[in-house]
């Protein structure tokens, strides 16, 4: 897979990191790993605790002004305050609506376009250069257009989210459709399976893991763009809340909101990963054979 690292706006294919590990590892490797594995979550918690302590100490030490970086306790208080506000939950809802709706549109459109283009070789050849041209266009370039056309409306947000997420899905679906095992395809042909049958029973199952990767990447990108739209255009949502807090000088609130967006990002990533793993679980054996 593309490292747990495949976030925002990126990577082309699944399995980007290469070398297959052959048999290796001496007999006791597993035992050793089990020993080390036990400490891992604790160490991770220690790391997070360390960050909180650092944030608490830094402003007090005078190294950084508390005006810019309030101590962790104040951020915590601001966060607590947020959780009691209706406005916060509305904003969170707005962000998630834009994210979910945009992602759904992008996935449906990306998958459909991918299947059509991927199953017709001529279409694939003709569209390749156009896709390569359109994909790297930063979707923030569309911000002025979105503002002009839709103002701070939800559609503005959707335009950015869908544009950014669509390519993630499309490119992965195309890569997946191309990964079809020639033997499987020949088998399907020899059983006189029609072209729709080949798409349905040969290409689609092969492409599914790629689709899931595409959805995972798109989910992260969609969140980034939803919040960006709110921040820059001013559509209602967490991003807009941050902009408002910043202009009104509510510094701890800015940090609390930033933390919320981070946690949201982690959550999106974890959920997308879990969904992907489930989808891949039964699939793995099929791919191995192929």
Partner 1 sequence: MIRTTVLTMARRVSLVLGLPAVLFAVWWFATAGSTDFYVPPLSTILQKFGEVWTGERLLSDVLPSLLRLTAGYLLAVVIGVGLGLVVGMSRVARDVLEPVLELFRAIPPPVLVPVIMLFAGIGDTMKVLVIVSGCMWPVLLNTVEGVRAVDEVLSDTCRSYGITGTSRLRHLVLRSASPQIVTGMRQALSIGIILMVISEMFAASNGLGFTIVQFQRSFAIPEMWSGVLLLGLLGFLLSLLFRFAENRVMAWYQGLRRAQRNT
Partner 2 sequence: MLDVRNLQKIYAGRNRSVEALRNLSFHIGAGELVCLVGPSGCGKTTLLKCMAGLLAPTSGEVRLDGRPVDGPPPGMAVVFQEYGRSLFAWMNVRDNVALPLRRKKLGKARERELVDHALEVVGLADAHQAYPWQLSGGMQQRVAIARAVAFEPKVLLMDEPFAAVDAQTRAELEDLIRRLWHELGVTVLFVTHDIDEAVYLGQRTIILSASPTVVLEDLTIDLPDERDQLHTRSSTRFAELRAHVYEQIQRAKHHNGDTDPPMADRSDELALQKSES
**Which of positions 17-36 make contact with partner 2 (CB under 8 A)?**
19, 22-24, 26-32, 34-35
Is 236 in contact with 230 (CB distance < 8 Å)?
yes
C-beta of 20 vs 67, nearer to partner 2? 20
Question: If binding means CB under 8 A, how many residues of this protein chain bind partner 1?
Answer: 78
SS3 content of the chain, % helix, strand, coil (to 5): 75, 0, 25
Alpha-carbon distance values, 165 to 33, 142, 171 (Å): 38, 14, 10
**Which of positions 103-132 make contact with partner 1 (CB under 8 A)?**
125-130
> Who's near 236: CB < 8 A, 6+ residues apart?
90, 91, 94, 152, 230
The whole-angstrom distance between residue 91's C-alpha and the CA centroid of its chain comes to 20
Out of 34, 133, 190, 192, point to the residue binding partner 1 (CB under 8 A).
133
C-beta of 29 vs 194, nearer to partner 2? 29
**Which of positions 237-276 make contact with partner 1 (CB under 8 A)?**
239, 242-243, 245-246, 251, 254-255, 257-258, 261-266, 268-269
Instruction: Tell me if 278 contacts partner 2 by CB under 8 A.
Output: no
| Minimum distance from residue 7 beta carbon to partner 1 (Å) | 6
Measured at the CA of 250, the angle between CA 248 and CA 252, to 5 degrees, comes to 160
**Which of positions 134-193 make contact with partner 1 (CB under 8 A)?**
135-145, 147-149
C-beta of 83 vs 145, nearer to partner 1? 145
Q: Compute the distance between CA of residue 230 and CA of residue 92 in angstroms, rounded to an integer.
A: 11
């Amino acid at each position: 897979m593309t490292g747990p690292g495949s976030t925002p706006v990126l990577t082309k294919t699944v399995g980007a990191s290469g070398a297959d590990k052959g048999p290796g590892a001496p007999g006791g490797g597993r035992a050793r790993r089990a020993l080390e594995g036990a400490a891992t979550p604790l160490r991770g918690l220690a790391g997070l605790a360390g960050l909180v302590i650092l944030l608490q100490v830094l402003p007090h030490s005078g190294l950084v002004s508390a005006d810019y970086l309030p101590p962790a306790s104040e951020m915590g208080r601001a966060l607590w305050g947020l959780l009691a506000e209706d406005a916060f939950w509305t904003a969170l809802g707005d962000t998630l609506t834009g994210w979910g709706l945009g992602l759904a549109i992008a996935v449906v459109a990306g998958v459909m376009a991918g299947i059509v283009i991927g199953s017709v070789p001529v279409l694939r050849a003709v569209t390749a250069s156009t896709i390569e041209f359109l994909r790297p266009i930063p979707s923030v370039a569309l911000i002025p257009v979105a503002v002009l056309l839709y103002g701070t409306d939800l559609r503005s947000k959707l335009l950015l989210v869908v544009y950014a997420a669509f390519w993630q899905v499309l490119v992965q679906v195309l890569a997946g459709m191309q990964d079809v095992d020639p033997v499987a395809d020949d088998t399907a042909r020899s059983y006189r399976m029609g072209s729709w049958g080949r798409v349905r029973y040969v290409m689609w199952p092969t492409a599914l893991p790629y689709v899931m990767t595409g959805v995972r990447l798109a989910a992260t990108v969609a969140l980034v763009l939803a919040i960006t739209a709110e921040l820059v255009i001013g559509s209602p949502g967490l991003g807009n809340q941050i902009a408002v807090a910043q202009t009104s000088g509510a510094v701890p609130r800015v940090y609390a909101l930033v933390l919320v967006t981070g946690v949201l990002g982690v959550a999106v990533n974890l959920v997308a990963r879990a969904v992907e793993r489930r989808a891949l679980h039964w699939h793995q054996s099929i791919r191995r054979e192929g």
